[in-house]
């Protein structure tokens, strides 16, 4: 008996702890069963109790909050009050916009008419078709076989046959058409830019002072040039502008 009492005394703490655990388990089972029974009897009340939602008397949810909620759109998108998109009209091609193309053509024609006409460069030509015998010397002195001296050559000598046609090297007005003792028959033409073209060695001139001539128009026939007679049959061309001689090669190449 003493052994039993001693055992119980030693194990008293353990027994008390076991008793507490058993009591707690029993209480939990009872609480769960009670809640389950209440749920089955009154689901609405239980929802508010479980969720902790409290209802306050005199306070109601404002209906205006619903205005901030956008209506849901179904699969077909048919929601009352929501405007339906209008299909865009197909873009017209440039051909259809311009009709048969007459508008575009007329616009191009007007544009072409507005553009200023291209200014044609003045034309020049050699008075005869022969090669150059003596070139322009500028300030350099060259020997003149006929006069047997050194002097500047202020023009260009073009070879030709005696009696060959001589042509106007530029368009302009004839300022002089007369014989000169040293240069034979001389025809001077004043061009539009004010330059004076002097063709020497022209016999049987067919133009006179005051005549308007065109580039390439016949002036007469090739004759003799007294001061350059040993050079051979040729025509001498000089150009003066603003009081000075200009190399004809600048115009005729």
pLDDT of residue 97: 44
pLDDT of residue 176: 96
As a whole number of angstroms, the distance between CA 129 and CA 121 comes to 22
pLDDT of residue 109: 52
- CATH code for the domain defined by 132-252: 2.70.70.10
pLDDT of residue 119: 52
pLDDT of residue 32: 77
As a whole number of angstroms, the distance between CA 238 and CA 200 comes to 8
* Chain mean position to CA 227: 62
Q: 168 to each of 99, 128, 143, how far by Cα in Å? A: 54, 9, 28
Q: Which residues of the chain fall below pLDDT 50?
A: 45-83, 93-103, 111
As a whole number of angstroms, the distance between CA 149 and CA 138 comes to 16
pLDDT of residue 24: 75
pLDDT of residue 108: 57
Q: Which long-range contacts (CB under 8 A, 24 or more apart) does 106-111 make?
A: none
Q: For the whole prediction, is pTM greater than 0.75?
A: no
Q: Would you list the domain boundaries of the chain?
A: 2-43, 132-252
């Amino acid at each position: 008996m003493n052994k039993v009492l001693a055992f119980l005394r030693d194990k008293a703490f353990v027994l008390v702890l076991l008793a507490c655990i058993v009591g707690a388990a029993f209480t939990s089972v009872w609480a769960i069963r009670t809640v389950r029974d209440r749920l089955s009897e009154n689901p609405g009340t239980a929802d508010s109790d479980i969720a902790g939602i409290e209802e306050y008397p005199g306070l109601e949810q404002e209906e205006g909050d619903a205005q901030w909620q956008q209506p849901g759109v179904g699969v077909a998108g048919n929601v009352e009050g929501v405007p339906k998109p209008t299909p865009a009209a197909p873009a017209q091609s440039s051909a259809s916009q311009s009709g048969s193309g007459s508008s575009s053509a007329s616009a191009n024609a007007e544009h072409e008419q507005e553009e200023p006409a291209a200014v044609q460069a003045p034309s020049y030509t050699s008075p005869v078709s022969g090669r150059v015998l003596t070139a322009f010397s500028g300030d350099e002195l060259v020997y003149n076989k006929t006069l047997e001296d050194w002097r500047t050559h202020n023009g260009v000598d073009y070879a030709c046959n005696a009696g060959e046609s001589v042509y106007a090297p530029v368009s302009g007005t004839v300022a002089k058409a007369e014989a000169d003792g040293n240069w034979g028959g001389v025809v001077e033409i004043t061009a539009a830019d004010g330059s004076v073209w002097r063709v020497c060695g022209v016999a049987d001139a067919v133009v006179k002072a005051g005549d308007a001539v065109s580039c390439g128009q016949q002036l007469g026939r090739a004759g003799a040039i007294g001061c350059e007679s040993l050079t051979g049959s040729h025509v001498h061309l000089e150009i003066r502008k603003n009081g000075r001689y200009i190399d004809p090669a600048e115009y005729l190449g």
